[in-house]
């Protein structure tokens, strides 16, 4: 009996600790690794970031989602990290390198001009996607209910909504946060860019 009590005295705390860790990972937050360069310069390849699951999603939020069923090239579970540009009901367009949401210019000071425009110009690929998806035959799209339009910060290398469409809400795992103790100079571009999403400059 003493042996059993002795075993339980250290087994139970371990089991409880594991259960708590699993609950936190499932409902609150988890750690993910950035795979690729589509979010440079703000997130680097192989950088580890926290994903907060209950956090609210805004225009400008950086999210992690399961690309299976979103990107046709993905089979099986694969997490993508992208920035939300269009919320449900928003209209997204781009002309001559100027990104517009609901007709208002987006503040893109968190990336360089070349990262925003190189290889994307007037988003001809978005126009082709619009034809394929039976959207309006122009490089302008309206985001459906419970879906999001996402882009990588490095537009010329990012595989995102311009190519395969929207992200369903149910596919989103959470919002990326760079913790205060990590020395990422672009921390505010990830955690706070949504607070100043629209540009104050005139088009």
Instruction: Choose among 57, 81, 97, 55: nearest CA to 199.
Output: 97
pLDDT digits 0-9 by tens, 17-61: 554 545 445 445 788 888 889 999 999 999 888 898 878 999 999
Residue 82 lies inside a defined structural domain of this protein: yes
Selected residue with higher pLDDT from 167 and 155:
167
Q: CA angle, 115 as apex, 110 and 121 as ends, to 5°?
A: 125
| 53 in active site | no
| 192 in active site | no
User: How far is Cα 26 from Cα 114, in angstroms, rounded to an integer?
Assistant: 38
As a whole-number percent, the residues of the chain with pLDDT over 70 amount to 70
Stretch (H or E) spanning 42: none
Specify whether 21 is located in the same domain as 100. Answer: no
pTM of the model: 0.80
**What's the per-residue H, E or C state across 69-118?**
CCECCCCCCCEEEEEEEECCCCEEEEECCEEEECCEEECCCCCCHHHHHC
Is a pLDDT exceeding 90 seen at residue 11? no
Q: Count up the domains in the chain and report the number.
A: 2
Is a pLDDT exceeding 90 seen at residue 129? no
Can the peptide bond before residue 81 be classed as cis, meaning omega within 30 degrees of 0? no
pLDDT digits 0-9 by tens, 142-155: 899 999 999 999 98
pLDDT at site 95: 73
Residue 202 lies inside a defined structural domain of this protein: no
Three-state DSSP state, 29? strand
Owner of token pair 């672009």: 186
Specify whether 14 is located in the same domain as 45. Answer: no
Query: Which position among 61, 82, 140, 171 bears the catalytic label?
Result: 82
Query: Which position among 2, 5, 9, 38 bears the catalytic label?
Result: 38
CATH number for the domain spanning 131: value is 2.10.109.10
Specify whether 12 is located in the same domain as 68. Answer: no
Range of the domain at 71: 34-196
Residue 62 lies inside a defined structural domain of this protein: yes
Instruction: Choose among 129, 126, 171: nearest CA to 146.
Output: 171
- Mean pLDDT within 160-164: 86
């Amino acid at each position: 009996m003493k042996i059993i009590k002795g075993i339980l005295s250290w087994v139970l705390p371990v089991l409880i600790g594991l259960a708590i860790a699993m609950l936190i990972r499932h409902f609150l937050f988890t750690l993910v690794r950035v795979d690729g360069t589509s979010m440079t310069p703000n997130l680097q390849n192989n950088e580890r970031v926290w994903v907060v699951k209950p956090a609210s999603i805004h225009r400008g939020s950086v999210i992690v989602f399961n690309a299976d069923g979103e990107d046709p090239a993905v089979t099986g579970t694969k997490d993508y990290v992208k920035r939300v540009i269009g919320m449900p009901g928003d209209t997204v367009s781009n002309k001559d390198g100027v990104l517009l949401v609901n007709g208002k210019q987006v503040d893109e000071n968190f990336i360089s001009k070349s990262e925003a425009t190189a290889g994307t110009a007037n988003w001809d690929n978005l126009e082709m996607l619009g034809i394929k998806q039976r959207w309006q035959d122009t490089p302008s799209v309206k985001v459906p209910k419970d879906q999001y339009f996402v882009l990588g910060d490095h537009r010329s290398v990012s595989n995102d909504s311009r190519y395969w469409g929207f992200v369903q809400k149910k596919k989103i795992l959470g919002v990326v946060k760079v913790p205060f103790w990590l020395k990422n100079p672009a921390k505010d571009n990830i955690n706070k860019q949504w607070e100043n999403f629209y540009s104050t400059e005139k088009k």
